[in-house]
């Protein structure tokens, strides 16, 4: 059984069908890059996996937790998959440390000392142990995104969803975030990332998914997808971005 | 005829002003509590709750406070329930205040970026936990200036309760006018006392607005 099973998923916004039957199975430890033009449905797919969008048909399952619309099922699913956003979305009224501690205490009812210890550990892991007491607006974009990663990791998810996590960053800050992701990948974390960093996808990912018009258009190891694109759409897409 | 000195007038008005203050506090505290409930219903995921809260707000914002006071005072006694003026006044003011506070606060809650909801949801928080730990603390900072500003309306709104016979500042002014035949003096003092109550409130609202805008967060 795969860790993440996405079966025949369809999603429409009004009359506009954004996902037209997606099938994707992700094995534990896989790092998947999802690439494609804007509007191809890649972010929507990611958001469906942890229930930020409701799906119209099909099913999604992560480590035995089934996607459903009630709060109990959603919570069980979201404890398995963490998500990191393009806009960081740190809680501005809390320090970096408190950001990482909050959901542990509120959702998992972890006692404060343990939550604090975990927060320190996770902030150290992303190289920001010294910023425990800094507020988000005192951190650079790259640092904020690393705190967001620590915050997701503190919930000990089995997989992480990364939604264009470097797109809002200044070019010189992209690498520090990607370095953290790369390390997570090497430690065996299952990652699904929507990304425009083609070189990163080529170097780090085990498989690349090319989405086009709401479908998985091509899928395979990076060497194959980048080195020998089979469809004209992928060739055109890669031609644009390279 | 009994002679009234200016001091007699002022003293009696100040004594009555105590009831204006008490009524304002009751209306505000009660209105805030009911308003918070209406707010939760207004932004609920349940359509029925949203419709109910929306209807409530429309009803109480769309009818004059005076009518609400009449209805709670005379309406309930028509049903055979004997309601004292202070109770009818408190109930009507609380419900009226709640409808405005709920709508003010809804605006504040909706001004919090969607990403805050999504991030807290993706961490497994339920709706109530999101509100309690993520959304309301941020919305509160934005809500303080308009809330304090609205409290001025509540203080002035209490003057209408004189019409159902509750003896607060405005009613005392009416009584004193009848006794002294000096409407200009009496109502002049009445207005001054209302101003003395409201001016600090609206000033503090402006002050808070400036302060919270600059600080941008509460630490």
At A86 the pLDDT is 94
Please tell me which residue, B81 or B192, carries the higher pLDDT value: B192
Q: Is B114 touching A (CB cutoff 8 A)?
A: no
Which residues in chain A land under pLDDT 50? none
Residue A120 — left, alpha, or beta (φ > 0 → left; ψ -120 to 50 → alpha)? alpha
The answer as to whether B143 is a domain residue is yes
Instruction: Confirm whether B64 is domain-assigned.
Output: yes
Domain that holds residue B164: 6-215
Over chain B, what is the mean pLDDT? 91
A155 touches chain B (CB under 8 A): yes
What pLDDT digit, counting tens, does each position of A5-64 carry?
999 999 999 999 999 999 999 999 999 999 999 889 999 999 999 999 999 999 999 988
Q: What is the ipTM of this complex?
A: 0.92
Distance between alpha carbon A105 and the CA centroid of its chain, in Å? 23
**Residues of chain A positioned with their CB less than 8 A from the CB of B217:** 92-93, 135, 137
Q: How many CB pairs under 8 A join A and B?
A: 70
Confidence of residue B77 (pLDDT cuts 50, 70, 90): confident
Sheet bearing A207-212, strands edge to edge: A81-84, A159-163, A190-194, A31-36, A207-212, A215-220
Q: What is the pLDDT of residues B34-61, one digit of tens each?
A: 999 999 999 998 999 999 999 999 999 9
Which chain A residues touch B133 with a CB distance below 8 Å?
Answer: 102, 106
A82:B123 CB<8 A: yes
In tens, the pLDDT along B9-38 reads 899 999 999 999 999 999 999 999 999 999
Per-residue model confidence (pLDDT) at position B215:
47
* Residues whose CB is less than 8 angstroms from the CB of residue A204 and which lie 6 or more positions away in sequence, other chains included: A31, A33, A181, A182, A185
Distances (CA, A) of B171 to A34, A43, B7, B91, B165: 72, 64, 18, 18, 7
Instruction: Using a CB–CB cutoff of 8 Å, tell me whether B121 touches chain A.
Output: yes
Question: Closest Cα partner for B14 from B168, B150, B149?
Answer: B168
- Quick: pLDDT tens for B159-186: 999 988 888 999 999 999 998 888 999 9
What stretches of B43-126 show up as alpha helix (H) in DSSP? 47-62, 65-70, 76-78, 85-110, 114-122
Which of B118, B137, B138 shows the shortest C-beta gap to A85? Answer: B118
Minimal-distance CA residue of chain B relative to A48 = B122
In a domain, B132, yes or no: yes
CB pair distance less than 8 Å for B138 and A148: no
Q: How far apart are CA B160 and CA B70, in angstroms?
A: 10
Q: Which contiguous run of DSSP H or E holds residue B184?
A: helix B183-215
For helices B136-157 and B183-215, the axis angle rounded to 10 degrees is 170
Binary contact (A93, B137; C-beta < 8 A): yes
By Cβ distance, the residue of A92, A93, A107 closest to B123 is: A107
Distance in angstroms (rounded) separating the CA atoms of residues A55 and A63: 19
Domain annotation covers residue B20: yes
Helix axes B169-180, B6-42, angle to 10 degrees: 150
pLDDT tens for B112-165 read 999 999 999 999 999 999 999 999 999 988 898 899 989 999 999 999 999 888
| CATH code of the domain covering residue B210 | 1.10.3720.10
Give residue B206's pLDDT: 84
pLDDT at position A156 is 94
Q: Is residue B1 part of a domain?
A: no
**Number of domains forming the structure of chain B:** 1
Give all domains of chain A, ordered by start, each with its CATH number: 13-89+158-241 (3.40.50.300)
Residue pair A128/A146 in contact (Cβ under 8 Å)? The answer is yes
- Give A144's Cβ-side CA count (13 Å radius): 21
pLDDT for residue B141:
85
Residue of B122, B125, B138 lying closest to A93 (CB–CB):
B138
């Amino acid at each position: 059984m795969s860790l993440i099973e996405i079966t025949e998923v369809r999603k429409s916004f009004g009359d506009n069908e954004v996902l037209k039957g997606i099938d994707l199975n992700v094995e534990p430890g896989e790092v998947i890059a999802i690439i494609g033009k804007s509007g191809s449905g890649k972010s929507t797919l990611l958001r469906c996996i942890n229930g930020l969008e409701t799906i119209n048909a099909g099913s999604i399952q992560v480590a035995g937790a089934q996607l459903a619309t009630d709060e109990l099922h959603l919570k069980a699913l979201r404890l398995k998959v963490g998500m990191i956003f393009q806009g960081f979305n740190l809680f501005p009224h809390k320090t970096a440390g408190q950001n990482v501690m909050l959901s542990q205490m509120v959702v998992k009812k972890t006692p404060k000392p343990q939550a604090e210890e975990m927060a320190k550990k996770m902030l150290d892991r992303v190289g920001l142990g010294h910023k425990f007491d800094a507020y988000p607006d005192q951190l650079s974009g790259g640092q904020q995104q690393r705190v967001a990663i620590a915050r997701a990791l503190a919930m000990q998810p089995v997989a992480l969803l990364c939604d264009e996590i470097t797109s809002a960053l200044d070019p010189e800050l992209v690498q520090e975030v990607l370095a953290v992701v790369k390390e997570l990948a090497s430690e065996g974390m299952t990652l699904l990332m929507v990304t425009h960093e083609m070189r990163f996808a080529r170097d780090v990912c085990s498989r690349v998914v090319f989405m086009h018009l709401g479908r998985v258009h091509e899928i395979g190891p990076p060497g194959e997808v980048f080195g020998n694109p089979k469809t004209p759409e992928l060739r055109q897409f890669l031609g644009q971005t390279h | 005829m009994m002679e009234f000195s200016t001091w007699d007038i002022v003293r009696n008005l100040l004594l009555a002003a105590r009831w204006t203050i008490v009524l304002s506090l009751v209306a505000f505290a009660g209105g805030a509590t009911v308003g918070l409930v209406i707010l939760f219903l207004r932004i609920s995921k349940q359509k029925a709750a949203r419709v109910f809260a929306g209807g409530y707000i429309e009803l109480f914002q769309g009818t004059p406070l005076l009518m609400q006071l009449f209805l709670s005072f005379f309406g309930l006694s028509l049903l055979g329930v004997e309601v004292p003026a202070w109770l009818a006044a408190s109930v009507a003011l609380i419900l009226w205040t709640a409808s405005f506070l709920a709508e003010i606060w809804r605006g504040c809650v909706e001004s919090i970026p969607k990403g805050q909801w999504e991030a807290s949801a993706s961490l497994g928080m339920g709706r109530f936990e999101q509100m309690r730990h993520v959304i309301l603390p941020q919305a509160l900072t934005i809500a303080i200036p308009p809330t304090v500003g609205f409290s001025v309306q509540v203080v002035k709104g209490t003057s209408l309760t004189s019409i159902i016979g509750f003896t607060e500042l405005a009613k005392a002014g009416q009584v004193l006018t009848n006794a002294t035949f000096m409407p200009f003096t009496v109502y002049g003092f009445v207005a001054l006392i209302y101003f003395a109550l409201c001016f600090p409130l609206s000033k503090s609202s402006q002050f808070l607005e400036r302060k919270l805008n600059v600080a941008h967060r509460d630490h």
